[in-house]
Amino acid sequence: VALILQCLQLMFGDTRRMVAYDRAAAFCKRLCTFALHYPAHGAIAILASVRHMLEKQATLRQMLDTDHPVSGVYLPAVDDPEHCFALSSTLWELSMFFRHFHPFLRQYALDVAKLSDDSELEKHSPLAYLTAFDASEGGFNPPIVAPEPHPLEKVLAKEQRKSKERVHFVRPSLEYPTSEFLLNTAASVPEIVGNIQAESVSSVLVGHFNASREYRLQKLAHQLSMMRQQWEIIQQTRHKWIEEQRSTKASTTSRASNKSKRSG
């Protein structure tokens, strides 16, 4: 971005030389389009260059008006900037920054769109903006403001202070049992687990899997029978339709032959 800004400064920064307004308008339009794809610091620097061009050439300010007269259709794919009819378009890209997360970029885009001289923002060069708002090494300019405390935080803090006055310790019932039922259950668990035999477990599992397999086979057989019935219904309907077509054709042929005999 810095190299692009330096080239723009050499091209449009000299006040003694005036670039053709068609070419300048094409650069303004392309720069606003490029700014949409750059980070915040690059977009601010690019908009600073666009603002400088708008202030230098009054003809370009009609691109800020949506009702200005046009003499063609903007052609962004044309290589020659003087023949792309950039003055027939508007700088609508500025409106995309009106809701940007960066507060300075949001306000700066509004100032460029209004092009007012009574702006509260300080004017700097595009390279200065690029350096000042660069967040690639950490940090954020302007610093992020901490959010205001929620109104319910005071209520929660007050409730916490009240709860500290009444401290209750809840102990796990299994670690410190107080019920005879829990004591008897905890003592009988190892005996129950030890009495389980592997053969009985395997027999139960085999029976479960056999029952599951039988259920799947029955379900599959039912689906096949339903499909067979549907296929028979389709075949019957098809044969019936063929017979109707044949009878219709035969009746039509007989009528035509009778008509020809009568005419003869």
Q: Look-up: residue for tokens 């949409």? A: 36
DSSP 63: G
Q: What gap in Å lies between CA 16 and CA 234, rounded to an integer?
A: 89
Geometric angle at alpha carbon 143, from 5 and 140, rounded to 5°: 45
More confident residue, 146 or 84: 84
Write the CA distances from 199 to 112, 135, 189, 205, integer angstroms.
85, 69, 20, 10
43-100 residue pLDDT tens: 999 999 999 899 888 889 999 988 888 888 999 888 888 889 999 999 999 999 999 9
Higher pLDDT, 36 or 198: 36
Inter-axis angle of helices 40-56 and 2-12, to 10 degrees?
Answer: 0
Question: What is the model's pTM?
Answer: 0.54
What does the pLDDT read at residue 50? Answer: 92
- In the structure, what pLDDT confidence band is assigned to residue 188 with cuts at 50, 70 and 90? low
Q: Which two tokens stand for residue 129?
A: 């903006």
In angstroms, the CA 250 to CA 111 distance is: 87
pLDDT at residue 187 above 70?
no
Helices (H), 166-197: 180-195
